Amino acid sequence: MEEIWMERWQLAVCRIREIAEDPETAGKPGDYFKKTAGFVLLVLEALKKAEADEFSHASLQELQDFYRRLYGDITGDAYARSYADPAYAAAELGDGYGQILSFVYTELRGLIVCAFEGRREEILIYMELFLQIHSEYEGDVLPAAEQLRLDVYWFVSDYCDVLAAGRVREQLDPSLSFARDIIMEADLTDPRYLYRFGEYITDTQIRTSRYLAGLPEEEIRRIASVYTEGYRMGFLVNKKPLEKKRTVNIRYCLGFERIIRQAVRNFEAMGLSCIIYRAAAFRVNMREANRIGYYGAIPNRQYDYDHKGDASLFMDKAFAERKLGVLKTVYEQYRELAGVHGGPAVMEIFGETPFSPAGKPEALRLDEKQQEVQVYLNSRTGQIVNEYIPGEERSFTIIAFPVPEIGDQFEEIFRETVRINTLDYMTWQQIQQKLIDVLDTGMAVRVLGRGGNRTDLRIALTPVKDPRKETIFENCVADVNIPVGEVFTSPRLTGTCGVLHVTGVYLDGLFYRDLTLTFRDGMVTEYGCGNYKEEAENRRYIRENVLMHHETLPMGEFAIGTNTTAYMAAKRYGMGSRLPILIAEKMGPHFAVGDTCFSWEEDVVTCNPDGKQMIAKENECSALRKEDVSRAYYNCHTDITIPYEELGEIAVLHEDGSSTVLIRDGRFVLAGTEKLNEPFAEGEVLS
């Protein structure tokens, strides 16, 4: 078997070298194959350097020069002249052809990380895909575009047991320690270590690493402890069995290795081995443009956006069933490892330059039927994962820090973020309980915008039957969700109605101007925004990136953010548009479309610090899990926050027709919550 494998490798490498010399086809296709073959040879050069450990010893200048060769064609102005750009590829190679060949080239770019990890099997099969596509151009007759698509389709389907199966293993098996070994063994005072990962590296990662290298060890331990202790508390507070767990998944962005190293030690002290896998490199394992795992700098956000619909080349019911079959088989194979996996500990970043994507008609996208298949695939995947890693037994934590891209005040903002992440949770717990005590007496909540904000919502609440023992809002302090600062519930869908509007908001790194969602009985019925001239394009933008291809979504969460300290810090440094939702959701009321915060664990008993049991853990959609689990969950949850300056009023509505105002004109007015207004008085005056 080894002999056959080596023969395939040698034949593929030899053939690609020949194509790089002479593509054997004329015109633009010849140019495409010549350049793409040249890129594959560059990947092989990286493989050779990695296997010889050259990336550990090269000078910083040598590393940067080589990385420019690896990533230069998709950065800056070069992207518009690269076959990675579907618009350029379609113009040069023909509409229908260019998109497929651009996909192939983009997939080959995923081999960069395979080279650094020595993953020769993936390199081989993708070299063979390239050669298969090239063979279609042999002869004088142009191949049919459909034939090229079929080549891609069968490649992805046939090798799903390699690509998807490998992805599951790296998420569960702590013996796969490529990144962890670098983190724990490298000299973190020398930023050259960053180039050993194979991820794109910019001045942002280098400056972050150097800044952390200069912090006192006690400060690093303090920061890491907030992160890891939040994870431990998530199990403790929710009475989940941490003692049964043996692994935790760390997700972070490169540059923060000094904190991550200490976090690994902290988790090991809890009896947990750390699994640190990178974000997926191939489309079969990606979910749109989201990155799940560790990653470096993003070379080009437009490039990511242009290719998020590439799965349209292979997404159909047969492929979905094929992938689901592979996932089921692999999870069964690793059943023991899955059973002791505790869930993710996520460290996000913020401060990157805001991005508003350009819509390109040449970019591939899922059609209506494929969107339905994608929704089905996501739903069934979630069910399989929950079968082997039960939601009632796993937890998570999430925290965020700024990166130097945020501006000249990076170090000051970093220190301020550490302060925000370590605010006294007891103070917030007590104040938030004042809000909850009133909210528990209501039948609904009214939320009104002010100024240019057109929000007018009525959120129906679950009735409390025993006020001594039950509550409908969770008192969220700093455990799994850092920093402190929100009370939240799962609204009743029936009776929840009205308009949610935000004048401008970033969701998962994408900007929305005048985002508007209309709800009837808790479900989205209309939606729009002002990003594009054509209303159809605006609706498509929301359908793909907020509704996640669903025709509608329920309001899965209603929350009131109370972290006015974070809000005023954002105002003071002018960084509101660059904050992650993790912090932004604590800076005003927010509404999630999609699943509730308790999906897959509705039957787990959750209590607030006052001992009352949280009873509003599901809605009319999630309750369907008892009949048909495929109808219960949407496998997405997107938070949308109304900032305080756009907030006119939040009032609790009572059965007798009376109401109690909690917030008016962006200020907390309920007795016992006045302390939350102190940051406003200390900082800028709300407009």
Name residue 186's amino acid: A
Q: Is the pLDDT of residue 683 over 80?
A: no
Range of lowest pLDDT (355-359, 385-389, 477-481, 543-547): 477-481
Structure confidence at residue 16 (pLDDT): 98
pLDDT one-digit tens code per residue, 516-530: 999 999 999 999 999
pLDDT one-digit tens code per residue, 36-45: 999 999 999 9
If residue 212 lies in a helix (H) or strand (E), which one and from where to where? helix 203-213
Token pair recorded at residue 309:
């619909």
Report, as an integer, the average pLDDT of 429-454. Answer: 96
Contacts of 141 (CB under 8 A, 6+ apart): none
pLDDT of 458 over the 90 cut = yes
Residue 684 has pLDDT above 60, yes or no: no
State residue 606's pLDDT score: 86
pLDDT one-digit tens code per residue, 282-340: 999 998 768 999 999 999 999 999 999 999 999 999 999 999 999 999 999 999 999 99
The pLDDT, as a whole number, for residue 447 is 98
Q: Domain limits of the chain?
A: 2-147, 169-393, 424-682
Does 601 score more than 50 pLDDT?
yes
Sheet holding 444-449, edge to edge: 523-528, 510-520, 492-507, 456-460, 444-449, 647-653, 659-664, 667-668
In this predicted structure, what is the pLDDT of residue 629? 85
Give me the percent of the chain exceeding a pLDDT of 90.
Answer: 83
What pTM was estimated for this model as a whole? 0.90
Is a pLDDT exceeding 90 seen at residue 131? yes
Confidence of residue 685 (pLDDT cuts 50, 70, 90): very low
Question: What average pLDDT does this structure show over 505-526?
Answer: 93
User: pLDDT value at position 687?
Assistant: 37
Worst-scoring range by mean pLDDT, 111-120, 212-221, 504-513, 615-624?
504-513
Reported as a pLDDT band with limits 50, 70 and 90, residue 139 is confident
686 pLDDT above the threshold of 50: no
**Planar angle of CA 614, 648, 674, nearest 5 degrees:** 65
Residue pLDDT, tens place only, 224-265 = 999 999 999 889 888 889 999 999 999 999 999 999 999 999
* Percent residues over pLDDT 70 in the chain: 99
Name 18's Cβ contacts closer than 8 Å, sequence gap at least 6.
none
Answer yes or no: is pLDDT of 628 > 90.
Answer: no
pLDDT value at 541 more than 80: yes
Dihedral sign (CA 482, 287, 97, 43): positive
CA 5 from centre of chain: 36
Q: With CA atoms as reference, report the closest residue to 422 among 563, 315, 215, 591.
A: 563
Angle at 500 between CA 496 and CA 505, to 5 degrees: 145
As a whole number, the mean pLDDT across the chain is 94
- Residue 45: CB partners within 8 Å, gap ≥ 6? none
